[in-house]
Amino acid sequence: MLEFIRTLWQLCKLQKGPQDLPYSNRWLGLVLGINYAFLVIFIARSQGLGNALWSSFVLMGIPLASVYLVLRWRRMQNRVTQTLTALFAANILLSLITATLLLLTMSFAATGSVAVMQGMAKLVGFIMVIWTLTVAGHIFRSALSVTLLWGVMFAVALEIVKAVMFRLLVGG
């Protein structure tokens, strides 16, 4: 477990690739389950549990199906498990880092003005979005044997599709 987390941290620092994570359906199942739980909790806070269960399933299905289909199309099916494990595990780690940084930002800024707190939170959020897209691009670069630019473009395209689907599913 500790070795997995170390490798994942190095992946998030772009020092290792998805191929460095263990090829394990158990790890994939675990990270998918954790991601699903986080997504349900996040969506249920504003949309209710019933909508959150369905929306989370669809929103997780988009990268699952996309990665599988693209790797199959490129005749690289053997990379699916490690790619998805890396993608969803990195999402968990970066989400935890983002939440921690936002909580720290709010607690430090609680004594200051609301405008400063909001500005800091937006800056932290922006930096984490860029980092998350870069890590996803790095994962796709390794998995698809393409340049980082193409990997990031694939990551951005997936996020756009997920954002559109999220708006369609939960409205607003």
DSSP state of 172: -
9-21 pLDDT, tens digit each:
999 999 999 999 9
Two tokens, residue 104: 């720290």
DSSP state of 75: T
Predicted local confidence at residue 17, as pLDDT: 96
82-119 pLDDT, tens digit each:
999 999 999 999 999 999 988 887 776 656 667 777 78
Split into its structural domains, the chain has a count of: 1
- Please give the C-alpha separations between residue 91 and each of 17, 39, 73, 86, 104, in angstroms, as whole numbers: 14, 11, 24, 8, 20
What is the spatial distance between Cα 94 and Cα 88, in angstroms, rounded to a whole number? 10
Query: Which of 36-40, 49-53, 85-89, 96-100 is the least confident region?
Result: 49-53
**Predicted TM-score of the model (pTM):** 0.89
